[in-house]
Amino acid sequence: LTRCVVRAPRWFHRGVTGLEAEALLKSRGIHGSFLARPSKKNVGDFSLSVRVQDDVTHIRIQNTGDYYDLYGGEKFATLSELVDYYTNDSGTLQDRDGQIIEIKYPLNSSDPTTERWYHGHLSGPNAEKMLGKREEPGTYLVRGSLSKPGDFVLSVLTSEKTKKGDRRVTHIKILCQRYTVGDTTFYDSLTDLVEHYKKVGIEEISGHWVHLKQPFYTTRVNAADIDTRVRLLDQMAKNPEENPGEKSKAGFWEEFDALQKLEAKVKKSREEGQRPENKSKNRYKNILPFNDTRVVLETADPTVVGSDYINANYVRDTLRPDNDKVFIATQGCLLTTVNDFWQMVWQEKTRVIVMTTREVEKGRNKCVPYWPAVDAYKEVGAYVVTCLSETDASDYKVRVLEMAPLNEKTRIWHYQYLSWPDHGVPQEPGGVLSFLAQVNAKQEMFPDAGPMVIHCSAGIGRTGTFMVIDMILHSIDIQGVDCDIDIQKCIQMVREQRSGMVQTEAQYKFIYLAVSEHIQRESLDLPPPPRTMLKRKHTEATAHGAHTRNTPLTFDLFGTASSFKTCPIISLSPSPGHCRRVTSVALVGVLGW
């Protein structure tokens, strides 16, 4: 597990005692998990509780009124800055016995409300930046206070203009003891407070009135609460009578529509795909790779324009520095691009290919078979690909392929998912989750393998859905079910690497449902989905390959699948004696591409 970057103090638990912190960390945390809480012994101070193996250590944090420190350590203006410093390898902690205390994984507290206008611990400048993009005065959000953990801030876009000509954003502090904005009225919850001031407005000290008209919704959600978010989005979409005239601005549609508008602002060059020499290599004339992330074929003839081109992009999770996994998203092969496809597989050292479509759907060609039949071989440019076996499961095929040029052999696994319907998405995500588990288990058997290649027909709809689900689940597996996730933001991130990823609202919602089911499995501590019994059409040998600071500060402590198919193994070789095996997985029947 790698150290994560802490960006927002969801790790602050304002009502937790030392004993309760120990219980939380022992039941929900792992080695390196931590939380911060108010000190019960010294009012105004705080405690940092950290899981160290099977025990919990409590570190006292002093708040002098001028700065925060660990009684003699580095000094910081805010509690967040102190915690960030020690979680990002800038500072190392050790106890009196010299044992290193690792502060890695925040154990997040539950949000004080499930309302979508609550944005967690968002900074003031970021709140102003977000609200400033809206045109309607009265747009508001609620966020956690960074300067005083436990309190909240109501940020509202006003009709007044600043000296720069922008609309002014006002920030109104909400005290946490009983929710109040500082007057004599108290409320039992943030929701009650917001609902009251939506009706009557708030008068600032300057005499200006602030009116709360429309909420600025967040797409961020604590992973453990995603089931609640799904129900809320579904309820909004199914009950338009509660908000007459707003059916088109509710639920999943609202979030996906906002995502579509954001993509229109992405202006990146697709010049290589637009070259006359490369037009015949694109399955769809308007679905082209961005230049800055495209895969460049390294063996191209420099004297032939466009010979290094393939409609494919590298895609990685740039939101999570702890995720170094790289994918390649590409289109389904054309007859004219099969050789280029295998050249890409070879140069990238790919061991797993995932195909998310059938070869033909609804009478339309989605991808030419770029692999040979079982026990046959196919010459593809400088390589020879041999299909060693093909195995059927209930919903997918696995093919074992061997690819060979010169004197090297490589085995490749080709997974083809067959249970995605021609229209829409699967009724439930369990099959896709089981399939993902199988694919990742195979990829992890080869630590030195290159990017997993994923494709459908256009390489954006089902391909993007598969990748985003995998990225979100990876974050949850690394950081725990209490981490923050943002599905819309993740899709926006992958769309900046290949345009159009995740094509439909149905696919967008399916990602939510897949994550929700994964969380339910984690919460119930269910074992991984059982491996599907496979029926081999041909037996082949088992694949060969690898299975899968600074000076420390001393301080005082106190307290102690059933929906996919396996396809044949393919061997690629240009000359006798050199083979590489590749496995490819195909997802079939997904709406979009």
Active site residue 567: no
Q: What is the DSSP string of 331-398?
A: PPPPTTTHHHHHHHHHHTT--EEEE-S-SEETTEE-----SPPBT-EEEETTEEEEEEEEEE-SSEEE
Give the pLDDT score at 9: 64
Over residues 353-374, the mean pLDDT reads 95
| pLDDT exceeds cutoff 60 at 531 | no
Angstrom distance (rounded) from CA 58 to CA 44: 16
Q: What are phi and psi of 291, to 5 degrees?
A: -60, -40
Over residues 286-314, the mean pLDDT reads 95
Give the pLDDT score at 578: 45
| pLDDT exceeds cutoff 70 at 563 | no
Among residues 355, 451, 456, the alpha carbon closest in space to that of 398 is found at: 355
- Region of residue 44 (left: phi > 0; alpha: psi -120 to 50; beta: else): left
Among residues 333, 321, 473, the alpha carbon closest in space to that of 414 is found at: 333
Over residues 24-44, the mean pLDDT reads 87
Give the pLDDT score at 39: 87
Over residues 335-350, the mean pLDDT reads 97
Determine which one of 456, 483, 490, 579 is catalytic.
Answer: 456
- Which of the pair, 440 or 320, is modelled with greater confidence? 440
- Which of the pair, 477 or 312, is modelled with greater confidence? 312
| pLDDT exceeds cutoff 70 at 19 | yes
CA 266 remoteness from chain centre: 20
Give the pLDDT score at 64: 81
In the chain the domains, ranked by start, together with CATH numbers, are 18-106 (3.30.505.10), 124-218 (3.30.505.10), 271-542+569-585 (3.90.190.10)
Give the pLDDT score at 592: 40
